[in-house]
């Protein structure tokens, strides 16, 4: 469990530094140590509660014109579909999905760091993008390759980004958690573990906020991407052995 604790702490550090992204570290590491369903369950309540808190803090900074709520509802629909996939797809395929999602995220971050998506276009594609991101969250526990990339591409202010992505994650968790219980992934024991997992995330967030002030954004991003690449590579090795 010590490595799971470290992964959650690292996820909290990333969330504190950037406002989002904790699952992109924590879920692959926990999936490597246990399996994808356990990783998703472990992160379910930290995801819900930390984003409820952030969403309330940034409630006045959400992206306007109904964009935030359309994105959130689409994500919730996708998370429901993704959880059904989680319950019916072999574990090795789910591990491979998580690993490939991480590699896609890394590749896009490196290849198109300055890509800009006009808000007018983002509004037109928010439903399919949100649904796809939700499906990835439900099935693999990692929506960042779609959700974070999509929002970052619009170059919002940090407050608008955090306010919007927090509502998105809360909406997904509100659908995902009951379905995890319905399919038998979430029981009382795992509920307790998931609530305990909130502690290292909350502990890491102030560290991330402090690091963000001391390290350049480029250096911090490269460190995170290197770590993610190593984790994703290890996941793929695990699947192929």
Block means of pLDDT (10 residues each) for the chain, 241 residues, are: 81 78 78 85 89 84 86 96 90 76 78 79 92 89 81 80 90 95 93 91 86 72 71 70 57
- The phi and psi torsions of 116 (rounded to 5 degrees) equal -120, 130
pLDDT of residue 64: 79
The Cα 24–Cα 29 span in angstroms is 9
2-18 vs 22-33: helix crossing angle, rounded to 10: 170
* 154 contacts 119 by C-beta, under 8 angstroms: yes
pLDDT at 131: 95
Domain residue ranges in the chain: 2-240
pLDDT of residue 239: 66
At residue 174, the pLDDT reads 95
pLDDT of residue 213: 75
What backbone phi and psi angles, to 5 degrees, belong to 114?
A: -110, 15
């Amino acid at each position: 469990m010590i490595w799971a604790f470290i992964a959650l702490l690292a996820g909290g550090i990333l969330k504190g530094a950037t406002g989002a992204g904790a699952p992109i570290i924590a879920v692959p590491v926990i999936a490597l140590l246990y399996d994808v369903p356990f990783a998703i369950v472990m992160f379910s309540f930290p995801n819900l509660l930390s984003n409820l808190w952030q969403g309330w803090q940034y409630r006045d900074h959400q992206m306007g014109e109904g964009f935030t709520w359309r994105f959130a509802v689409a994500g919730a629909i996708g998370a429901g579909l993704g959880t059904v996939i989680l319950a019916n797809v072999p574990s090795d395929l789910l591990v491979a999905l998580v690993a490939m999602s991480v590699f896609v995220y890394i590749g896009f971050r490196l290849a198109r760091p300055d890509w800009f998506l006009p808000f007018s276009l983002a509004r037109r594609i928010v439903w399919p993008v949100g649904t796809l991101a939700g499906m990835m969250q439900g099935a693999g526990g990692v929506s960042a390759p779609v959700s974070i990339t999509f929002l970052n591409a619009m170059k919002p202010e940090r407050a608008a980004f955090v306010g919007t992505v927090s509502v998105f994650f809360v909406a997904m968790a509100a659908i995902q958690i009951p379905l995890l219980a319905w399919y038998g992934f979430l029981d009382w024991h795992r509920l307790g573990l998931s609530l305990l997992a909130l502690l290292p995330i909350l502990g890491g967030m102030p560290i991330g906020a402090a690091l963000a002030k001391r390290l350049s954004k480029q250096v911090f991003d490269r460190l995170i991407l290197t770590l993610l690449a190593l984790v994703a590579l290890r996941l793929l090795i695990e699947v192929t052995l």
